[in-house]
Amino acid sequence: MAARGKTGIILVLYVSFVLLLSGCGEIGTWKEQEESQINDFLKSLHDTTFVLKPSGLYFTELSGGTGDLPVNGDSVTFFYKGMFLDKVVFDTNVTDSIPWKYVIGSGKIIAGLDEGLRYMKQGGKALLLTPSSLAYGHNGYPGVVPGYTPLLWEITLMSVKKN
């Protein structure tokens, strides 16, 4: 009876190890596919140039704003349109006519948006391309955004209130 129990434990450990290893390979594959999607998208843009930031965020200013750049603790309002790379909109507040209110650095929005807002001035408009690591990650946003999905954001920064 004791030998049977040990064999069962060893079998469970072996199967768990195999599943863990196969999952690691899957993550590598997803990451490669995501990088390929981003590169293909960037190549398809003939008139728009994105700047790759150290975090992995791609940023391009569509129109400049005025004033200071927002920093941690500053309150901002902005309109956004979240899209997949094929430009299908999955979320927006533009149609609501009510800008989103957010405190820079509070962590209440995805990291890519928080970072992108820091490169903008009041009245400015920008496009952000966020890899999944700066958006919804490997889990995605269930029912809306699949895991490992890079996203495109059109942002208009309406106001910046210094802390």
In whole numbers, what is the pLDDT of the chain averaged over residues? 88
Write phi, then psi, for 18 (nearest 5 degrees): -65, -45
User: Looking at the predicted structure, is the pLDDT value of residue 13 above 90?
Assistant: no
Q: Amino acid identity, residue 17?
A: F
Distance CA 107, CA 101 (A): 13
- How far apart, in Å, are the Cα atoms of 62 and each of 47, 121, 123, 126, 153? 11, 12, 11, 5, 12
Q: Write out pLDDT tens, residues 59-105.
A: 999 999 999 999 999 999 999 999 999 999 999 999 999 999 999 99
104-115 confidence digits (pLDDT tens): 999 999 999 999
Domains in the chain: ranges and CATH = 41-161 (3.10.50.40)
Residues in Cβ contact with 108 at an 8 Å cutoff, skipping those fewer than 6 apart? 102
Residue 121: name the closest of 162, 153, 91, 151 by CA: 162
